[in-house]
Structure 1
Amino acid sequence: MKLIDKYILNEIKIPVIFGVSLFTFIFLIDIIVAMMENIIVKGISIIDVMRILSFYLPPILSQTIPMGMFLGIMLTFSKFTRTSEATAMSAVGMSLRDIVKPIFVAACCVTLFIFFLQESIIPRSVAKLQFLTAKIAYENPVFQLKEKTFIDEVDEYNLYIDRMEGKEKKAKGILIFQKAEDKPFPTVIVGEEAYWKDSAMVLINSKFYNFNDKGKEVLRGEFDEKRIPLAAYFSEIEVKVKDIEAMGIGTLLKEMKDKTPAEKIPYKVEINKKLAVPFSTMMLSLLGVFLSIGHHRSGKGANFALSLIVIFSYITCLNVGMVMATKGIIPAFIGVWIPNVILFLLTLFMYKKKAEVI
């Protein structure tokens, strides 16, 4: 590798890392806000929250790396232009093709890395994320329970908690309806206080009331302690990564074999997305060079704004295409790949335009 190629690659490292970090943080904001609520309100440990965020990173990085490459390269080559390094490269006989050669090689390597993320790292990461969130819910049921909210998703139980108190989040004022298939009226259980143990609620000083088929009370009693299992409720925890997004291309192809044509559409859209997004890295990287090199008056702010316009235009076109493809309005291939075609044409146009002056 030529010395100048090594220099260019070395110069883009920090800006690219900055770009990837910036867009990753933007994508993580929604998750971070939810995690902060869990730390402050529900008592989840910071270590568990950090582990959850780490498992969210691979799916997000597969989308933000192309964007970060684009922004980082734009910042680097705008600096080359301002410091006349781009002019010096041309003066020593380097053509535009020579200048972008190391960028293209780097983009190809990054594209392969994104494929590796999608096929190997992301499926494992999402599986660990689902396991960890389930484990946290079992160990700390307060993770999902809310005050003054009626919960009817716990097998044969309907549950209401008036309030949570203290660091241990003990429940106060508990009302439970225990349903039975052979009885029209549920057993009513009222508890003064409850604590959590092994994904179950343990009621302290509780009373129960049984009713006959006519709704008349026939039996009442008291418990010093009463255990209410909540495993069925806590086994389903929202993870902001769809199951289909966690699959590799090979798994998606296997899963869609026995599906109906309508059921295959989401799989086709996801397969095309997993191909189109990594390949966009090459075009965005080259476009970053062509948009920034030679513009002496453009500063960091202008290039940053331009990069945001290009990136969010690409994301918008991609999302619109995916929605239209998912609804069956257009084929999945066309819906997902049109943004890449637009990128390719724009990159080709800018290359021809810059090649005339460099």
Structure 2
Amino acid sequence: MTKSLIGPFIFALSVVIFVFLFQFLIKSLDQFVGKGLSIWLIIQLISLNLAWMLTLAVPMAMLVSSLMAYGSLASGNEITIMKASGISLPRLMIPLIVFSFVMFYLMIRFNNDILPEANHRARILLFDISKTKPTFILEAGKFSDDLNGVQILVKKTFPNSNNIEGVYIYSYSDPENKTLITSKNGDISFSTDFKKVIMNLNDGEIHQLNVKDVNSKYRNVKFEKHRLTFDAEGFGFQNSNENTFSRGDRELSAGAMNLVVDSLKNARDNLDNKFRETLLKEIISMQRLNFRDTIITKPVILVPDMNTDGTIKSNKTGLTTYYDSLRNMIRVFFNKKNEFKNIEIQSQQLVKQIDSYDVEIYKKFSIPFACVVFALLGAPLGYRVKKGGFGIAAGLSLLFFLLYWVCLIGGEKLADRALVSPFTGMWIANIIIGLLGLYLMFKSS
């Protein structure tokens, strides 16, 4: 039984990876065209992106292979004969379940050891490619401003050489001096390190005029040979230092993300402690206001004391002192309100970050477990369909994989919005598909 699984599994895995790879190339094609990237560099980028493709392709291949294997057995009445001999469908599924748990373990190791590093290197490589300027190309009759500070126009180029004819170079790097260089012919090339563009011009003129000084003289210099060098930094591909790039949540293992989550939880606890301490101080301050000292038990006529000059002496009663303290306390409370609000916002942001990392941690285990879930679904589904062809298996697999993917993405969105826990969001797809598989398995038995 195991041999009948491995063949369809490898075939289905190859087909699914090819589909993902084709989609990736179509999506990223505009980033490669015209940048003079080597074949080795493109192969390296594809190899690094195969990691996430493999993560998604293995569970889907498990579903396709189980559908094909058990559908083929059912179409040949082999399962019927085995069931007549007293061998139940769950017993027939033991090799498949063992195989699925082996793949589950291998994919957990892959997702924690290989996938984060591949994602990190792929992101850096894509960044390096994105900042690489398109290859410097001169087209006859069109101005080129790919080089900083100059515009170049040539009348004629030659496809099999670097020779050019009818050259006009307008320099605007110096705002005071306008310079125009003309040449009948020459050649253009890159330096060996791709950091300079070198132009060798023949039989030409240099026209220069200072536009800021009206008294300056127009300069006209003729030359037989003249060499120009321009800065071409960025035209050649350059690797970035990996140590200068921070890692995102998809570029970390589950263990590394757990450490980040612990530090975020400590930061949140510190904020909560700060909030409680600040609130406690305000409560103690308010309790210092003693109402019993300011209670009026009978009407009192307050006669103000007079100064010798006829003005009233400042004489605060206990009641007015209390109200002054109360006003101060209200003012302090409203000032502290903003501080409390800031603490609350910071705490909410930390909770969102914690949930985001928890989602990625659970995802590293829930997607590999889909191998087991799809094995539980594929075998009874293949038995009921009783057709082992790749077309039917691929169609049914695509349908259930889309259902699984919708549940997974939906759960992730709900977890990010704190509507469900990260565990529920990441495992709800496995629970739904797994229960459906168990139902079909016992129904077929």
Moved more, 159-168 or 311-320: 159-168
1:112 Cα offset (Å): 0.6
1:53 pairs with 2:53: no
1:255 pairs with 2:260: yes
1:9 Cα offset (Å): 0.5
Q: Which amino acid aligns with 1:227?
A: D
1:90-122 Cα distance to aligned partner (Å, 9 max, x none):
233211221011111100000011011111122
1:230 pairs with 2:231: no
Residues 286-297 of structure 1 correspond to what in structure 2 (within 5 A)? 286-296=376-386
Count of equivalent residues: 332
Corresponding residue for residue 246 of structure 1? 251
- What SS does structure 1 have at the residue aligned with 2:25? helix
Corresponding residue for residue 85 of structure 2? 92
Q: Which amino acid aligns with 1:347?
A: G
Unpaired segments of 5 or more residues in structure 1? Answer: 1-7, 180-184
Greater C-alpha radius of gyration: 2
Counterpart pick for 2:408 among 314, 318, 327:
318
Corresponding residue for residue 119 of structure 2? 126
- What SS does structure 2 have at the residue aligned with 1:57? helix
Corresponding residue for residue 111 of structure 1? 104
Q: Which amino acid aligns with 1:77?
A: Y
Corresponding residue for residue 301 of structure 1? 391
Unpaired segments of 5 or more residues in structure 2? Answer: 183-187, 242-246, 265-349
Moved more, 277-286 or 25-34: 25-34
Corresponding residue for residue 362 of structure 2? 272
Change (3 A) 1:35 1:258: same
Structure 1: distance between partners of 2:158 and 2:378: 55
Residues 24-39 of structure 1 correspond to what in structure 2 (within 5 A)? 24-33=17-26
Change (3 A) 1:78 1:263: same
Change (3 A) 1:322 1:288: same
1:279-324 Cα distance to aligned partner (Å, 9 max, x none):
1110111110011114346854333321110011111221122123
- What SS does structure 2 have at the residue aligned with 1:225? strand
Residues 151-170 of structure 1 correspond to what in structure 2 (within 5 A)? none
Contact kept, 8 Å, 2:68 with 2:388, in 1: the verdict is no
Structure 1: distance between partners of 2:373 and 2:121: 33
Q: Give the structure-2-normalised TM-score.
A: 0.60
Corresponding residue for residue 182 of structure 1? none
1:75 pairs with 2:68: yes
Structure 2: distance between partners of 1:9 and 1:252: 36
1:231 Cα offset (Å): 9.1
Contact kept, 8 Å, 1:9 with 1:103, in 2: the verdict is yes
Structure 2: distance between partners of 1:51 and 1:110: 26
Contact kept, 8 Å, 1:191 with 1:203, in 2: the verdict is no
1:180-212 Cα distance to aligned partner (Å, 9 max, x none):
xxxxx89999999673654635364799x9999
Change (3 A) 1:233 1:125: closer
1:85 Cα offset (Å): 1.6
- What SS does structure 2 have at the residue aligned with 1:54? helix
Corresponding residue for residue 195 of structure 2? 200
Contact kept, 8 Å, 1:59 with 1:122, in 2: the verdict is yes
Structure 2: distance between partners of 1:10 and 1:274: 28
Corresponding residue for residue 3 of structure 1? none
- What SS does structure 2 have at the residue aligned with 1:94? coil
1:125 Cα offset (Å): 2.7
Contact kept, 8 Å, 1:141 with 1:196, in 2: the verdict is no
Contact kept, 8 Å, 1:178 with 1:189, in 2: the verdict is no
Q: Which amino acid aligns with 2:92?
A: I
Structure 2: distance between partners of 1:352 and 1:158: 75
Q: Give the structure-1-normalised TM-score.
A: 0.72
Change (3 A) 1:300 1:131: closer
1:143 Cα offset (Å): 7.0
Contact kept, 8 Å, 1:201 with 1:230, in 2: the verdict is no
1:345 Cα offset (Å): 1.5
Change (3 A) 1:283 1:168: farther
Structure 2: distance between partners of 1:21 and 1:321: 28
1:23 Cα offset (Å): 1.7
Corresponding residue for residue 16 of structure 1? 9
Contact kept, 8 Å, 1:55 with 1:126, in 2: the verdict is yes
Change (3 A) 1:69 1:298: closer
1:70 Cα offset (Å): 0.5
Q: Which amino acid aligns with 2:114?
A: I
